[in-house]
A and B are shown apart, each in its own frame.
Chain A
Amino acid sequence: MDFKVKIWRQKNAKAQGHFETYDVTDIESDASFLEMLDILNEKIIREGGDPVAFDHDCREGICGACSLYVDGRAHGPDDHVTTCQLFMRHFKNGATITVEPWRSAAFPVIKDLVVDRTAFDKILQAGGFISVRTGSAQDANNILIPHETAEQSMDAAACIGCGACVATCKNGSAMLFVGARVSSLALLPQGRPEAARRAKAMVAKMDELGFGNCTNTRACEMECPKGISVDHIARLNREFLKAEFRG
Chain B
Amino acid sequence: MEDKLISKIPEGPLAEKWTKRKSEIRLVSPNNRRKLEVIVVGTGLGGSSAAATLGELGYNVKIFCISDSPRRAHSIAAQGGINAAKNYQNDNDSVYRLFYDTIKGGDYRSREANVYRLAEVSTAIIDQCVAQGIPFAREYGGYLANRSFGGVQVSRTFYARGQTGQQLLLGAYAALNRQIAAGTVKSYPRHEMLDLVVINGQAKGIIARNLVTGKLERFGAHAVVIATGGYGRAYYLSTNAMNSNGSAAWQCYKKGAFFGNPCFAQIHPTCIPVHGTQQCKLTLMSESLRNDGRIWVPKKMEDVLKLRKHEIKASQIPEEDRDYYLERRYPAFGNLVPRDVASRAAKERCDAGYGVNESGLAVFLDFSDAIKRLGHQRVQERYGNLFDMYFKITDSSPWEEPMMIYPAIHYTMGGIWVDYDLQTTVPGLYAIGEANFSDHGGNRLGASALMQGLADGYFVLPVTIADYLSHKFAEPKTDTNAPEFEEAEKAVQAKIDRLFAVKGTEPVDVIHKKLGNIMWEYVGMARSEEGLKTAIEKIKELRAEFWKTVRVTGTQYEFNQELEKALRLADFLEIGELMARDALNRNESCGGHFRVESQTPEGEAKRDDENYMYVAAWEYKGEDKEPVLHKEPLKYEFIKVATRNYKD
Q: Residues of A at under 8 Å CB distance from B?
A: 11-12, 27-28, 30-31, 35, 38-39, 41-42, 45-46, 49-51, 53, 55-65, 78, 81, 85, 87, 89, 110-111, 114, 116-118, 120-121, 124-126, 128-141, 143-147, 149-151, 153-154, 157-158, 160-161, 184-185, 188, 190-191
The docked-state distance in angstroms from the alpha carbon of A136 to that of B509 is: 47
- Contact in complex: A125, B181 (CB < 8 Å): yes
- Contact in complex: B510, A63 (CB < 8 Å): no
The docked-state distance in angstroms from the alpha carbon of A126 to that of B242 is: 30
What residues of chain B lie closer than 8 Å to A144, measured between beta carbons? 141-143
Most buried by A among B72, B393, B554: B72
- Contact in complex: B76, A121 (CB < 8 Å): no
What residues of chain B lie closer than 8 Å to A49, measured between beta carbons? 553
- Contact in complex: A12, B167 (CB < 8 Å): no
What residues of chain A lie closer than 8 Å to B52, measured between beta carbons? 134
- Contact in complex: B138, A147 (CB < 8 Å): yes
Q: Which residue of B lies closest to A123 (CB)?
A: B177
CB of B562 within 8 Å of the partner chain: yes
The smallest beta-carbon distance between A103 and chain B, in angstroms, is: 17
Contact of B280 among A35, A60, A62, A139 (CB under 8 A): A35
Contact of A65 among B68, B141, B170, B462 (CB under 8 A): B68
- Contact in complex: A35, B68 (CB < 8 Å): no
The docked-state distance in angstroms from the alpha carbon of A176 to that of B616 is: 50
Contact of B68 among A55, A58, A59 (CB under 8 A): A55
The docked-state distance in angstroms from the alpha carbon of A41 to that of B565 is: 13
Contact of A138 among B127, B180, B280 (CB under 8 A): B127
CB of B175 within 8 Å of the partner chain: yes
Given contacts A64-B72, A140-B127, contact A129 B175 (CB under 8 A): yes
- Contact in complex: A134, B553 (CB < 8 Å): no
- Contact in complex: A64, B71 (CB < 8 Å): yes
Most buried by A among B68, B180, B283, B389: B68
- Contact in complex: A57, B74 (CB < 8 Å): yes
Contact of B72 among A65, A126, A138 (CB under 8 A): A65
- Contact in complex: A132, B72 (CB < 8 Å): no
What are 29 A-B pairs with beta-carbon distances under 8 A?
A: A28-B278, A35-B280, A42-B509, A42-B510, A50-B554, A63-B72, A64-B76, A114-B559, A118-B68, A121-B177, A124-B177, A125-B177, A126-B181, A129-B174, A129-B175, A130-B131, A130-B132, A134-B56, A134-B175, A140-B86, A140-B126, A140-B136, A141-B144, A146-B142, A147-B139, A149-B138, A154-B161, A157-B170, A188-B135
- Contact in complex: A150, B136 (CB < 8 Å): yes
Contact of A129 among B178, B283, B551, B561 (CB under 8 A): B178
Q: Which residue of B lies closest to A30 (CB)?
A: B275
- Contact in complex: A137, B243 (CB < 8 Å): no
What residues of chain A lie closer than 8 Å to B459, measured between beta carbons? 134-135
What residues of chain A lie closer than 8 Å to B242, measured between beta carbons? 56-59
- Contact in complex: B558, A42 (CB < 8 Å): no
Given contacts A117-B69, A157-B167, contact A184 B126 (CB under 8 A): no
Other A-B pairs beyond A59-B283, A62-B166, A153-B135, 6, CB < 8 Å: A56-B242, A63-B74, A125-B177, A145-B135, A145-B142, A190-B130
CB of B334 within 8 Å of the partner chain: no
Chain B, residues 269-310, CB within 8 Å of chain A (1/0): the string is: 000000110111101100000000000000000000000000
- Contact in complex: A134, B133 (CB < 8 Å): no
- Contact in complex: B135, A150 (CB < 8 Å): yes
The docked-state distance in angstroms from the alpha carbon of A58 to that of B278 is: 17
Q: Which residue of B lies closest to A129 (CB)?
A: B174
The smallest beta-carbon distance between A37 and chain B, in angstroms, is: 11
- Residues 84 to 135 of chain B near chain A (Cβ within 8 Å): 86, 88, 124, 126-135
What residues of chain B lie closer than 8 Å to A65, measured between beta carbons? 67-68, 72
CB of B392 within 8 Å of the partner chain: yes
The docked-state distance in angstroms from the alpha carbon of A173 to that of B40 is: 33
- Contact in complex: A45, B68 (CB < 8 Å): no
Closest 7 CB pairs between A and B?
A144-B142, A137-B131, A129-B174, A137-B127, A153-B135, A154-B135, A140-B130
- Contact in complex: B68, A116 (CB < 8 Å): yes
The docked-state distance in angstroms from the alpha carbon of A106 to that of B242 is: 26
